[in-house]
Amino acid sequence: MLHAEPNIHSVTASNYDSIIAGAAALITRGRLVSFPTETVYGLGANATKDAAVAAVFDAKQRPEFNPLIIHIGDAAAAPDLVEFSDIAARLADRFWPGALSLILPRRADCPVSLLAGAGLDTLALRVPDHDIARALLTASGCPIAAPSANRSGEVSPTRARHVADSLGGKVDLILDGGPCRLGVESTVLDLTRKIPAILRPGGVAREELEHAIGPVEDSLQTSFQPSSPGMLASHYAPRLPFRTGATEIHEGEALLSFGPHAMTGFSEERNLSLHGDLTEAAANLFAMMRALDRSEFTGIAAMAVPEEGLGRAINDRLKRAAAPR
Ligand code: TXA
Ligand code: MG
């Protein structure tokens, strides 16, 4: 909705530095830039900015908040974001830059937006093996959250033209680096379990992983819930009793509101978006749920938001938080 026409720029040897600098400035400011990686084109946003990350979910029209892969320019940046285990370091040494995303526990002081990780205690990290992607990461100076740059439900883009066709005017800039070398997404490997598990097969084969670190589970062959952690209610539940669809307040409750309302009697209020903007609400959701989750309240009462666009994802998360535990 930012431009009528997609803004595609070919990256060539002669304009390289100025194009990368311009793209990095957009990322830093919280705008969306699509960039090539060796796997597929990503839809990139400053991972530390809630509003930028919310714009990614909005542009893709993801029906739910599915966590995004966080891209970094160098493995040395990883320990600031996650608990970087020995096995992670070994895999990074062998496969980064490359088509391997590692799921690791987020650090308590991790600067990445909670929304980017869909409120989970883990993050998926990878260093892409593409000059343009890495130059952009270095120049931006922040981690970049980037799902594949396609509308939800479509196949991933491997040409700048695919991005323009799918997301068109919703992207501030599309960096055209030609066709993607691999054309299939990265392998997603969960390192938070006793035995590492492949949540999504991708550019790095299971055999290569096992050669490096020994046995790896294939989540498709176990009883483990596959790659949609967002489907598990407990991931989104605060500690306090939580209810949604609130139209009045009970004694001692904190209120998670949306837009103007006439409710009174709450102990504390956080408003997802005073002027009823769903993108802003999505950006605030996980951080505000956490901010209200304090033992001085008897519970959290959340208002429902309109069941449209990102509102569906927000209501979905509110309902999961309110589900019986
Ligand atoms: O090759 C790729 O991985 C491309 C390029 C742009 O890097 N990105 C990509 O992102 O395919 P996306 O958002 O389309 O897919 C990310 C996958 C999803 O299946 C998501 O559930 C999973 O990674 N994922 C991300 N964070 C996760 C986490 N903390 N726990 C479990 N799964 C996670
Ligand atoms: Mg995708």
- Show the tokens assigned to 1: 């909705």
196 within ligand 1 shell (Cβ under 6 A): no
Per DSSP, 130 falls in state -
Quick one: average pLDDT of 296-310? 93
The pTM of this model reads 0.85
Query: Count of H helices and E strands in the chain?
Result: 8, 15
Say whether 243 sits in a helix, a strand or coil: strand
Place of tokens 């299939």: 184
Residue 5: pLDDT band by 50, 70, 90 thresholds? low
82 within ligand 1 shell (Cβ under 6 A): no
Sheet of strand 33-35, all strands in order from the earlier edge strand to the far edge: 8-10, 173-176, 33-35, 42-46, 144-145, 69-71, 122-126, 100-105, 187-190, 197-200, 217-218
Q: Give the pLDDT score at 95.
A: 98
Quick one: average pLDDT of 106-130? 95
Residue 322 CA to ligand 1 centre (angstroms) = 26
Quick one: average pLDDT of 100-129? 96
60, 122, 148, best to mutate for ligand 1 pocket (most atoms within 8 Å of CB): 148
Highest mean pLDDT among 44-53, 145-154, 179-188, 310-319: 44-53
Q: Give the pLDDT score at 4.
A: 53
pLDDT at 226 over 70: no
Residue-wise pLDDT tens digits, 10-59: 999 999 999 999 999 999 999 999 999 999 999 999 999 999 999 999 99
273 within ligand 1 shell (Cβ under 6 A): no
Q: Give the pLDDT score at 321.
A: 85
Q: Are 166 and 181 in contact (CB under 8 A)?
A: no
- Count the Cβ atoms, other than its own, within 10 Å of residue 224: 14
Which of 147, 108, 109 is CA-nearest to residue 126? 147
Residue 68 CA to ligand 1 centre (angstroms) = 5
pLDDT at 292 over 70: yes
Ligand with the closest atom to the CA of 154: 2
Ligand with the closest atom to the CA of 155: 2
Query: Closest ligand 1 atom to the C-alpha of 66?
Result: 21
Which of 255, 225, 251, 229 is CA-nearest to residue 242? 255
Q: Are 11 and 175 in contact (CB under 8 A)?
A: yes
**Phi, psi angle pair for 267, to nearest 5°:** -80, -35
Q: Give the pLDDT score at 231.
A: 46
